[in-house]
């Protein structure tokens, strides 16, 4: 009898012990839609490495690249359901949850990545990280890719060259207006569908960063790429606010530090990768990379500028002014 009681006690203890151990290991699933050898892919791996080193046994980060787990269409909903704890969508993909981030899609708003960095450090840029908190989405960091380049089936030197062509865009009304301003036909498509759409002619052209054009092999099915730098591809690393705020404070602090370090490093990598991937595209000989003259660029800027006015009410004129001021710093 005594033996049976002792045995049950040991069994009960091991169940309690196992559940305590299980409860202590926090699993963070980090899902994204790009390849591992991209700025975002590298950033995610870097964050995982830092967490593995510093929080071994307490937190485990699992990274799922290439839309393996969730794609453009479902990653934000998955985050809200806590099926995934970290994602880093392009800033163009948050429109359903906040309008202020539309600022990052305004054509020709930022002259370069230094201006983007500057704006993101302003109170206006920092406040945007919290712009979706009431909806359950919390921004932890901005991660860079680079400026976007325009590609198509023919040289697109002037806005008139784009008229009538179908361009793939991310799910953003600002980007839709940007292409409508040059009388082109924008089509919202998930990232994972772009290569096929370009290859089969469902769309004629697209806009993206050098690293995405390279890693997704868009350059193999796009005869011309204009070095237009007309817009920005940047990301916000976001988490489920309830999950994040419910973490033990010491763990959250460590994760925050790891995120800050991964961000600084990932943003350095982004600049290097962009330069490397641009050169690799040129060296491939599979497409022609064309520069725009200052006059040609001014013509694109001019025809797209009304898009700013159309969205400034939702974005906030103060926010736009703060961003524009960063071009001068
Ligand atoms: C990404 O870089 O996350 C994808 C961007 C896109 O949809 O074009």
Query: pLDDT digits over 209-242, tens only?
Result: 999 999 999 999 999 999 999 999 999 999 999 9
Per-residue pLDDT tens digits for 274-309: 999 999 999 999 999 999 999 999 999 999 999 999
Query: b/e map of 176-185 (b: 16 or more CB within 10 Å)?
Result: bbbbebbebe
Q: What is the mean pLDDT of the chain?
A: 94
Protein residue with least CA distance to atom 8, ligand 1: 191
Decide: 18 and 31 in contact? Cβ < 8 Å: no
Domain ranges, ordered by start, for the chain: 23-328
Q: Is the beta carbon of 34 within 6 A of some atom in ligand 1?
A: yes
Atom of ligand 1 nearest to the CA of 93: 7
The pLDDT assigned to 20 comes to: 43
Pocket probe mutation, ligand 1, options 208, 210, 266, max atoms within 8 Å of Cβ: 208
pTM of the model: 0.92
For residue 16, what pLDDT band results from cuts at 50, 70 and 90? very low
Per-residue pLDDT tens digits for 241-270: 999 999 999 999 999 999 999 999 999 999
The pLDDT assigned to 266 comes to: 95
What's the whole-number mean pLDDT along residues 172-191?
98
Pocket probe mutation, ligand 1, options 34, 65, 94, 217, max atoms within 8 Å of Cβ: 34
Q: How far is the CA of 11 from the centre of ligand 1 (A)?
A: 51
Per-residue pLDDT tens digits for 304-320: 999 999 999 999 999 99
Per-residue pLDDT tens digits for 23-37: 579 999 999 999 999
23-328 topology per CATH:
D-Maltodextrin-Binding Protein; domain 2 (3.40.190)
For residue 328, what pLDDT band results from cuts at 50, 70 and 90? confident
Query: b/e map of 137-165 (b: 16 or more CB within 10 Å)?
Result: bbbbbbbbbbbbbbbbeeebbebebbeeb
User: Taking every pair of C-alpha atoms in the chain, what is the biggest distance, in angstroms?
Assistant: 94
Protein residue with least CA distance to atom 4, ligand 1: 191
Protein residue with least CA distance to atom 6, ligand 1: 191
3-state secondary structure 214-239: HHCCHHHCCCEEEEEEEEEEEEEEEE
């Amino acid at each position: 009898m005594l033996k049976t009681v002792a045995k049950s006690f040991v069994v009960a203890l091991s169940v309690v012990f196992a559940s305590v151990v299980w409860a202590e290991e926090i699993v963070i699933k980090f899902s994204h839609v790009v390849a591992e050898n991209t700025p975002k892919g590298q950033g995610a791996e870097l964050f995982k490495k830092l967490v593995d080193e510093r929080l071994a046994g307490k937190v485990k980060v699992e990274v799922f690249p290439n839309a393996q787990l969730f794609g453009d269409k479902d990653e934000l909903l998955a985050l809200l359901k806590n099926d995934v704890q970290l994602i880093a969508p392009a800033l163009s993909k948050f429109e359903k949850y906040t309008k202020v981030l539309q600022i990052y899609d305004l054509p020709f708003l930022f002259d370069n990545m230094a201006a983007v960095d500057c704006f993101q450090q302003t109170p206006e840029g920092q406040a945007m990280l919290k712009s979706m908190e009431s909806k359950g989405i919390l921004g932890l960091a901005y991660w860079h890719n680079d400026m976007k380049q325009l590609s198509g089936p023919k040289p697109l030197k002037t806005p008139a060259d784009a008229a009538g062509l179908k361009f793939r865009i991310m799910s953003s009304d600002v980007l839709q207006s940007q292409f409508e301003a040059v009388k082109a036909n924008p089509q919202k498509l998930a990232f994972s569908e772009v290569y096929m759409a370009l290859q089969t002619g469902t769309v004629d052209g697209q806009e993206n960063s050098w690293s995405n054009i390279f890693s997704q092999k868009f350059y193999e099915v796009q005869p011309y790429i204009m070095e237009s730098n007309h817009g920005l591809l940047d990301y916000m690393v976001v988490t489920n606010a309830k999950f994040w705020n419910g973490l033990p404070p010491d763990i959250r602090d460590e994760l925050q530090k790891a995120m800050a370090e991964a961000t600084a490093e990932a943003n350095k990598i982004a600049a290097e990768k962009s330069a490397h991937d641009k050169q690799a595209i040129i060296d491939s000989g599979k497409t022609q990379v064309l520069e725009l003259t200052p006059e040609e660029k001014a013509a694109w800027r001019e025809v797209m500028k009304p898009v700013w006015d159309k969205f400034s009410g939702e974005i906030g004129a103060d926010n736009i002014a703060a961003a524009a001021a960063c071009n001068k710093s």
